[in-house]
Amino acid sequence: MIRKHQYKITLILLSACFLCLPIAYRSEGAKLAIAASNPTENSAVFNGKIMQRSLNGTSWTLVSWGTANARSSPLRNTRITAQFTNNTMSGLASCNNYNASYQTNGNNLTVNSPATTRKACSPDIMRQESEYLAALQSAQRYRITNNNQLQIFYRVNGSRGLMTFRQQ
């Protein structure tokens, strides 16, 4: 009788611990294959392969960007957003809407030249928009953190930069 209860307690404890971990899963016919996440924040291990968290179907709002020496937030009363759908990125770049195709390979990110609407705004807003779009086109890699922030790492004029977004 004691052994039967030990198995139940062990199963309950293992289940509780497993549920606390981020997991990756897939269907294999009538079976469900589950693996605990890799220590890297943006990926999970599945059958020995590293699976990146996908950008597809996600929406984000920029909270900060810049280099290590010059971080900034979007100007007051402006919004910068990014939505990722089927290898197309779109959103608001401060004044104008934009869209661009993008590709990922693991955590590498390439954003092609965006198309924008042609609305005119104040010079400071247009400067912010121009800087944001330049940073996007210079994207090199991305990471989705455990606290659901999107970080896009880029390089402009020889300087490394980071854009940080919060999930919408």
**pLDDT, tens digit, 9 for 90 and up, residues 13-24:** 334 344 444 444
What pLDDT does 15 receive?
A: 42
pLDDT at 166 over 90: yes
pLDDT at 3 over 80: no
pTM: 0.71
What pLDDT does 37 receive?
A: 42
Domain boundaries, the chain: 2-52, 58-167
What pLDDT does 2 receive?
A: 54
Mean pLDDT of the 128-154 span: 96
What pLDDT does 1 receive?
A: 56
User: CATH for 58-167, among 3.30.200.20, 3.40.50.12280, 3.40.50.740, 2.40.128.270?
Assistant: 2.40.128.270
> What are the tokens at 99?
């869209």
Q: 62 versus 158: which is more confidently predicted?
A: 62
Count CB atoms within 10 A of the CB of residue 102.
20
Q: 17 versus 162: which is more confidently predicted?
A: 162
Q: What is the tens place of the pLDDT at every residue in 33-91?
A: 444 444 444 444 444 444 458 999 999 999 999 998 889 999 999 999 999 999 999 99
Residue 32 banded pLDDT, cuts 50, 70, 90: very low
Q: What is the tens place of the pLDDT at every residue in 98-123?
A: 999 999 999 999 999 999 999 999 99
- CA 148 to the chain's CA centroid: 8
